[in-house]
A and B are shown apart, each in its own frame.
Chain A
Amino acid sequence: MNIEQLDFYTQAILSMAALVGLTSFLMLGQGRLLRLIFVFAMQGFLLTLTTALAAYSLNNHHLYISAVLTLALKVILIPWMLRREVLKMNMHRDIEALNNKTAVMMGGASLMVFSYYVLHPVVQSSSVVMLNALAVSLSVMLLGMLLMISHRQAIAHVVGFMSIENGLFFAAIVATNGMPMVVELGVAFDVLVAAVLFGIFFLHIRTSIDSLDVDLLNKLHEVDK
Chain B
Amino acid sequence: MIAAYLVLLIPLVGILYFALAGHREDTGKINVRFNGICLLATIWLAINVLNQGTIISSGRAFLIDPFNVYLIVLTAFVGFTTSIFSSPYMEHEKEIGKLSDNRLKLYHSMFQGFMLAMYLVLTTNNMGIMWVAMEGATLATVLLVSLYRTPESIEAAWKYFILCGVGIAQALFGTILLYYAAVQIGDGENALLWSVLYENADKLNPEILEIAFVFLLIGYGTKIGLVPLHNWLPDAHSEGPTPMSAVLSGLLLNDALYAVVRNKMLVDGATDSNMAGYLMMGFGMLSFLVAAILLHRQKDIKRLFSYSSIEHMGLMTFSFGIGGPLATFAALLHMTVHSLTKSAIFVTVGHAAQLAGTQRIDQIRGLIKTQPKIGWGLLIGTIAIAGFPPFGVFTSEFLVLLATMHSYPWLTLPLLLGIGIAFAGLFRHIQPMVYGDRPEGQNPITANLWPVTIHLALVLWLGLAIPGFLAHWFSQATLLISGSTPL
Contact B169 A164 (CB under 8 A): yes
Q: A186-B129, A204-B154 are in contact. Are A220 and B179 (CB under 8 A)?
A: no
Q: From the candidates B142, B190, B235, name the one contacting A220 in the complex (CB within 8 A).
A: B235
Stretch at the interface among B37-45, B132-140, B370-378, B455-463: B132-140
Chain B 205-228 per-residue mask, 1 if CB under 8 angstroms from chain A, else 0: 101101100000000000000000
CA distance A165 to B170 in the complex (A): 10
Q: Which of A147-189 contact B (CB under 8 A)?
A: 148, 154, 157, 161, 164-165, 167-168, 171-172, 175-177, 179-183, 186-187, 189
A194 is an interface residue with CB less than 8 A from chain B: yes
**Closest B residue by C-beta to A181:** B189
Interface size class of B (residues with CB under 8 A): 35 or more
Beta-carbon contact of B173 and A138 below 8 Å: yes
> Which residues of B126-165 have CB atoms within 8 Å of chain A's CB atoms?
126, 128-129, 131-133, 135-136, 139, 142-143, 146, 149, 151-152, 154-159, 161-162, 165
Q: How far is the CA of A183 from the CA of B109 in the complex (A)?
A: 24
B246, CB-defined interface residue at 8 Å:
no
A182 touches B129 (CB 8 A): yes
Interface residues in A125-154 (C-beta closer than 8 Å to B): 125-126, 134, 137-138, 141, 145, 148, 154
Contact of A175 with B126 at beta-carbon distance under 8 Å, contacts A122-B211, A194-B139, A200-B143 already known: no
In the bound complex, CA of A134 to CA of B131 (Å): 20
Q: Which of B132, B143, B294 lies in contact with A223, CB distance below 8 A?
A: B294
Known: A197-B161, A214-B158, A217-B154. A148 touches B166 (CB 8 A): yes
Assuming A125-B208, A164-B169, A168-B173, is B139 touching A193 (CB within 8 A)?
Answer: yes
User: Smallest distance from the beta carbon of B307 to chain A beta carbons, Å?
Assistant: 9
| A-contact 0/1 string along B168-194, CB 8 Å cutoff | 011011001101100110001111100
Q: What sequence of 0s and 1s flags, for each residue 178-218 of chain A, a beta carbon within 8 Å of any chain B beta carbon?
A: 01111100110110011001001100110011000010011
Once the chains bind, are B176 and A175 in contact (CB under 8 Å)? Answer: yes
CB-defined contacts of A167 to chain B, threshold 8 Å: 173
Q: What residues of chain A lie closer than 8 Å to B133, measured between beta carbons?
A: 186
- Of the candidates A124, A138, A145, A180, the one whose C-beta lies within 8 Å of that of B126 is A180
User: Residue among A172, A182, A186, A218 with the most chain B CB within 10 A?
Assistant: A186
Q: Select from chain B the residue with minimum beta-carbon distance to A209.
A: B151
Q: How far, in whole Å, are A168 and B208 apart by their CA atoms in the complex?
A: 16
Residues of B contacting A168 in the complex (Cβ-Cβ under 8 angstroms): 169, 172-173, 176
A157 adjacent to B162 (CB under 8 Å)? yes
User: Given contacts A176-B179, A180-B192, is CB(A145)–CB(B166) below 8 Å?
Assistant: yes
CB within 8 Å for A205 and B297 given contacts A122-B207, A171-B173, A182-B128: no
| Smallest beta-carbon distance A211→chain B, Å | 12
> From A190, which residue of chain B is reached at the shortest CB distance?
B135
Q: How many interface residues does chain A have, given as a range?
A: 35 or more
Contact of A197 among B139, B191, B298 (CB under 8 A): B139
Alpha-carbon distance A146/B179, docked complex (angstroms)? 27
B234 sits at the interface (CB 8 A): yes
Q: Are A164 and B166 neighbours in the complex by a CB distance under 8 Å?
A: yes
Task: Please tell me if the beta carbons of A161 and B166 are within 8 angstroms of each other in the complex.
Answer: yes
In the docked arrangement, what's the CA distance between A31 and B247, Å? 41
Question: Is B406 an interface residue when CB atoms closer than 8 A count as contact?
Answer: no
- 9 A–B pairs (Cβ distance < 8 Å), ordered by A: A148-B162, A161-B162, A164-B169, A168-B176, A180-B192, A183-B132, A190-B132, A194-B135, A222-B234
Not counting A167-B173, A182-B129, A187-B172, a sample of 10 additional A-B residue pairs whose C-beta atoms are within 8 angstroms of each other reads A148-B166, A176-B176, A179-B128, A182-B126, A183-B131, A186-B129, A189-B132, A190-B136, A190-B139, A220-B156
Give chain A's interface residues, CB within 8 Å of chain B: 118-119, 121-122, 124-126, 134, 137-138, 141, 145, 148, 154, 157, 161, 164-165, 167-168, 171-172, 175-177, 179-183, 186-187, 189-190, 193-194, 197, 200-201, 204-205, 208-209, 214, 217-220, 222-224
For the complex of A and B, 3 pairs with smallest distance between CB atoms:
A183-B128, A186-B132, A121-B207
Interface residues of B (CB under 8 A from A): 126, 128-129, 131-133, 135-136, 139, 142-143, 146, 149, 151-152, 154-159, 161-162, 165-166, 169-170, 172-173, 176-177, 179-180, 183-184, 188-192, 205, 207-208, 210-211, 231, 234-235, 238-239, 294, 297-299
